[in-house]
Chain A
Amino acid sequence: EVQLVESGGGLVKPGGSLRLSCAASGFTFRNAWMSWVRQAPGKGVEWVGRIKSETDGGTVDYTAPVEGRFTISREESKNMLYLQMNSLKTEDTAVYYCTTLMYYSYPDNWGQGTLVTVSS
Protein backbone atom coordinates (compact mmCIF):
# COMPACT_ATOMS: atom_id res chain seq x y z
CA GLU A 1 0.00 0.00 0.00
CA VAL A 2 1.34 3.42 -0.96
CA GLN A 3 1.95 5.65 2.04
CA LEU A 4 3.07 9.28 2.00
CA VAL A 5 3.57 11.03 5.32
CA GLU A 6 4.39 14.74 5.38
CA SER A 7 5.94 16.58 8.29
CA GLY A 8 7.58 19.90 9.07
CA GLY A 9 4.69 22.33 8.79
CA GLY A 10 4.06 25.07 11.31
CA LEU A 11 3.85 28.79 11.94
CA VAL A 12 6.56 30.99 10.43
CA LYS A 13 6.96 34.74 10.01
CA PRO A 14 7.02 36.38 6.59
CA GLY A 15 10.51 36.16 5.15
CA GLY A 16 11.26 33.00 7.12
CA SER A 17 12.11 29.49 6.01
CA LEU A 18 10.69 26.03 6.53
CA ARG A 19 11.59 22.55 5.30
CA LEU A 20 8.87 20.01 4.66
CA SER A 21 9.58 16.29 4.46
CA CYS A 22 7.61 13.44 2.96
CA ALA A 23 8.33 9.82 3.91
CA ALA A 24 7.35 7.44 1.12
CA SER A 25 6.70 3.71 1.31
CA GLY A 26 4.84 0.93 -0.47
CA PHE A 27 6.27 1.58 -3.94
CA THR A 28 9.60 1.86 -5.75
CA PHE A 29 10.50 5.42 -4.86
CA ARG A 30 13.47 5.76 -7.20
CA ASN A 31 11.20 5.13 -10.20
CA ALA A 32 8.50 7.56 -9.13
CA TRP A 33 7.88 11.09 -10.29
CA MET A 34 6.72 13.10 -7.28
CA SER A 35 5.12 16.45 -6.65
CA TRP A 36 4.21 19.00 -4.05
CA VAL A 37 0.83 20.67 -4.37
CA ARG A 38 -0.83 23.02 -1.94
CA GLN A 39 -4.29 24.13 -0.95
CA ALA A 40 -4.96 27.41 0.83
CA PRO A 41 -7.77 27.27 3.42
CA GLY A 42 -11.11 27.05 1.65
CA LYS A 43 -9.48 27.37 -1.77
CA GLY A 44 -8.62 25.20 -4.72
CA VAL A 45 -5.53 23.14 -5.35
CA GLU A 46 -2.34 24.70 -6.74
CA TRP A 47 0.83 23.08 -8.06
CA VAL A 48 4.11 23.88 -6.35
CA GLY A 49 6.35 21.69 -8.48
CA ARG A 50 7.29 18.20 -9.57
CA ILE A 51 10.51 16.22 -9.57
CA LYS A 52 11.39 13.49 -12.02
CA SER A 53 12.45 10.08 -10.88
CA GLU A 54 16.11 9.44 -10.26
CA THR A 55 16.11 7.15 -13.27
CA ASP A 56 14.75 9.98 -15.44
CA GLY A 57 17.31 12.49 -14.23
CA GLY A 58 15.69 13.94 -11.13
CA THR A 59 15.16 17.42 -12.57
CA VAL A 60 12.53 19.75 -11.18
CA ASP A 61 9.78 21.96 -12.60
CA TYR A 62 8.40 24.80 -10.48
CA THR A 63 5.44 27.09 -10.85
CA ALA A 64 5.94 30.82 -11.10
CA PRO A 65 4.72 31.78 -7.60
CA VAL A 66 7.47 29.70 -5.94
CA GLU A 67 10.30 29.70 -8.51
CA GLY A 68 13.51 30.98 -6.95
CA ARG A 69 12.19 30.63 -3.38
CA PHE A 70 11.31 26.93 -3.07
CA THR A 71 13.50 23.90 -3.75
CA ILE A 72 12.25 20.35 -4.22
CA SER A 73 14.71 17.53 -3.66
CA ARG A 74 14.70 13.80 -3.02
CA GLU A 75 16.86 11.35 -1.11
CA GLU A 76 16.62 7.88 -2.62
CA SER A 77 18.48 6.08 0.18
CA LYS A 78 15.80 7.19 2.65
CA ASN A 79 12.75 7.25 0.34
CA MET A 80 12.28 10.90 1.25
CA LEU A 81 10.97 13.93 -0.64
CA TYR A 82 11.68 17.45 0.58
CA LEU A 83 10.41 20.96 0.04
CA GLN A 84 12.71 23.74 1.19
CA MET A 85 10.75 26.98 1.40
CA ASN A 86 12.58 30.30 1.74
CA SER A 87 11.44 33.92 1.73
CA LEU A 88 7.97 32.83 2.73
CA LYS A 89 5.04 35.10 2.08
CA THR A 90 1.60 35.26 3.67
CA GLU A 91 0.14 33.93 0.43
CA ASP A 92 2.14 30.71 0.89
CA THR A 93 -0.18 29.78 3.75
CA ALA A 94 -1.71 26.43 2.79
CA VAL A 95 -1.82 22.73 3.43
CA TYR A 96 1.06 21.18 1.50
CA TYR A 97 0.63 17.73 0.03
CA CYS A 98 3.22 15.31 -1.23
CA THR A 99 1.94 13.16 -4.10
CA THR A 100 2.99 10.46 -6.51
CA LEU A 101 2.30 11.20 -10.15
CA MET A 102 0.53 9.04 -12.70
CA TYR A 103 1.77 9.65 -16.27
CA TYR A 104 4.26 12.13 -14.76
CA SER A 105 1.44 14.57 -14.19
CA TYR A 106 -1.69 13.41 -12.34
CA PRO A 107 -1.43 13.28 -8.53
CA ASP A 108 -2.80 9.83 -7.78
CA ASN A 109 -1.63 9.13 -4.22
CA TRP A 110 -1.68 11.93 -1.66
CA GLY A 111 -0.29 12.31 1.81
CA GLN A 112 -2.46 13.67 4.59
CA GLY A 113 -0.88 17.10 4.19
CA THR A 114 0.96 19.45 6.53
CA LEU A 115 -0.23 22.97 7.32
CA VAL A 116 2.09 25.91 6.76
CA THR A 117 0.97 29.23 8.20
CA VAL A 118 2.91 32.37 7.31
CA SER A 119 1.93 35.19 9.61
CA SER A 120 3.52 37.86 11.74
Chain B
Amino acid sequence: EIVLTQSPATLSLSPGEGATLSCRASQSVASYLAWYQQKPGQTPRLLIYDTSHRATGIPARFSGSGSGTDFTLTVSSLEPEDFAVYFCQQRSLWPFTFGHGTRLEIK
Protein backbone atom coordinates (compact mmCIF):
# COMPACT_ATOMS: atom_id res chain seq x y z
CA GLU B 1 0.00 0.00 0.00
CA ILE B 2 1.00 3.60 -0.50
CA VAL B 3 2.44 5.18 2.62
CA LEU B 4 1.94 8.90 3.17
CA THR B 5 4.49 10.65 5.37
CA GLN B 6 3.56 14.05 6.74
CA SER B 7 5.99 16.61 8.06
CA PRO B 8 6.52 18.20 10.39
CA ALA B 9 4.67 16.24 13.05
CA THR B 10 3.99 19.50 14.90
CA LEU B 11 4.20 23.06 13.63
CA SER B 12 4.11 25.96 16.07
CA LEU B 13 3.14 29.30 14.56
CA SER B 14 1.37 32.52 15.48
CA PRO B 15 -1.88 33.88 14.04
CA GLY B 16 -1.16 35.91 10.94
CA GLU B 17 1.83 33.82 9.93
CA GLY B 18 1.86 31.53 6.93
CA ALA B 19 1.97 27.74 7.27
CA THR B 20 3.41 25.13 4.94
CA LEU B 21 2.59 21.45 5.56
CA SER B 22 4.13 18.60 3.60
CA CYS B 23 2.87 15.17 2.52
CA ARG B 24 5.16 12.72 0.75
CA ALA B 25 3.92 9.51 -0.91
CA SER B 26 5.93 6.28 -1.10
CA GLN B 27 5.07 6.09 -4.81
CA SER B 28 3.40 8.40 -7.28
CA VAL B 29 -0.23 9.24 -6.65
CA ALA B 30 -0.39 11.58 -9.66
CA SER B 31 -2.67 14.43 -8.53
CA TYR B 32 -4.99 12.24 -6.45
CA LEU B 33 -4.36 13.71 -3.04
CA ALA B 34 -6.65 15.44 -0.55
CA TRP B 35 -6.22 17.35 2.70
CA TYR B 36 -8.47 17.29 5.76
CA GLN B 37 -8.67 19.42 8.86
CA GLN B 38 -9.68 18.02 12.24
CA LYS B 39 -10.30 20.20 15.26
CA PRO B 40 -10.41 18.71 18.79
CA GLY B 41 -13.61 16.81 19.39
CA GLN B 42 -14.78 17.25 15.78
CA THR B 43 -14.89 15.06 12.70
CA PRO B 44 -12.41 15.62 9.89
CA ARG B 45 -13.41 18.13 7.24
CA LEU B 46 -12.39 17.92 3.59
CA LEU B 47 -10.36 21.01 2.65
CA ILE B 48 -8.65 20.27 -0.65
CA TYR B 49 -9.16 17.47 -3.18
CA ASP B 50 -7.15 16.35 -6.20
CA THR B 51 -4.15 18.38 -5.01
CA SER B 52 -5.44 21.90 -5.47
CA HIS B 53 -9.24 22.11 -5.58
CA ARG B 54 -10.86 23.68 -2.55
CA ALA B 55 -13.93 21.91 -1.21
CA THR B 56 -17.18 23.81 -0.82
CA GLY B 57 -16.96 26.62 1.70
CA ILE B 58 -13.21 26.44 2.26
CA PRO B 59 -11.57 29.88 2.50
CA ALA B 60 -9.14 31.01 -0.17
CA ARG B 61 -6.29 31.21 2.35
CA PHE B 62 -6.03 27.42 2.04
CA SER B 63 -4.25 26.19 -1.08
CA GLY B 64 -2.69 22.94 -2.23
CA SER B 65 0.05 22.13 -4.69
CA GLY B 66 2.30 19.31 -5.85
CA SER B 67 2.22 16.22 -7.99
CA GLY B 68 3.58 12.69 -8.04
CA THR B 69 5.04 12.11 -4.60
CA ASP B 70 5.41 15.56 -3.02
CA PHE B 71 2.51 17.73 -1.94
CA THR B 72 2.04 20.89 0.07
CA LEU B 73 -0.84 22.48 1.92
CA THR B 74 -0.35 26.21 2.42
CA VAL B 75 -2.30 28.48 4.72
CA SER B 76 -1.48 32.01 3.70
CA SER B 77 -2.29 33.83 6.95
CA LEU B 78 -3.33 31.79 9.97
CA GLU B 79 -6.61 32.56 11.68
CA PRO B 80 -7.21 31.36 15.27
CA GLU B 81 -9.65 28.72 14.00
CA ASP B 82 -6.98 27.17 11.74
CA PHE B 83 -5.07 25.59 14.60
CA ALA B 84 -5.92 21.91 14.24
CA VAL B 85 -4.59 18.60 12.92
CA TYR B 86 -4.24 18.20 9.16
CA PHE B 87 -4.25 14.87 7.33
CA CYS B 88 -3.50 14.03 3.73
CA GLN B 89 -5.13 11.13 1.86
CA GLN B 90 -4.44 9.48 -1.50
CA ARG B 91 -6.96 7.93 -3.85
CA SER B 92 -4.57 6.71 -6.51
CA LEU B 93 -4.54 3.07 -5.45
CA TRP B 94 -6.74 0.95 -3.18
CA PRO B 95 -6.34 0.70 -0.29
CA PHE B 96 -6.60 4.43 -0.04
CA THR B 97 -4.47 5.69 2.82
CA PHE B 98 -4.19 8.65 5.16
CA GLY B 99 -1.08 10.26 6.53
CA HIS B 100 -0.61 10.37 10.29
CA GLY B 101 -1.19 14.08 10.48
CA THR B 102 0.51 17.39 11.26
CA ARG B 103 -0.57 19.22 14.39
CA LEU B 104 -0.66 22.97 13.83
CA GLU B 105 -0.47 24.63 17.23
CA ILE B 106 -0.41 28.18 18.48
CA LYS B 107 3.06 29.40 19.35
Q: Do A and B bind each other?
A: yes
Contacts from A to B (Cβ < 8 Å): 43-47, 61, 63-64, 97, 102-108, 110-113
Bound-state CA distance A23–B95 (Å) is: 25
Give the 8 A-B CB pairs with smallest separation, nearest first: A105-B91, A110-B43, A44-B100, A63-B95, A45-B98, A108-B46, A106-B34, A106-B49
Number of contact residues on B: which range applies? 20 to 34
Given contacts A106-B34, A106-B49, A113-B43, contact A64 B95 (CB under 8 A): yes
B46 in contact with A111 (CB, 8 Å): no
Q: Which residue from A43, A46, A61, A102 sits with its C-beta under 8 Å from B46?
A: A102
Asked if residues A106 and B95 are in contact (CB atoms below 8 Å), the reply is no
Cα(A46)–Cα(B89), bound, Å: 10
How far, in whole Å, are A61 and B95 apart by their CA atoms in the complex? 8
Chain B nearest CB: distance from A88 CB in Å? 20
How many Å lie between the Cα of A73 and that of B34 in the bound state? 26
Contact A110 B44 (CB under 8 A): yes
Name the residue in B50, B89, B96, B100 with the highest tally of chain A Cβ atoms < 10 Å from its Cβ.
B96
| Chain B residue contacts of A105, Cβ below 8 A | 32, 91, 96
Q: CB of B55 within 8 A of chain A?
A: yes
Determine whether the beta carbon of B55 is less than 8 Å from that of A108.
yes
Is residue B87 within 8 Å, beta carbon to beta carbon, of the partner chain?
Answer: yes
Q: Which of B44, B50, B55, B95 is in CB contact (< 8 Å) with A45?
A: B44
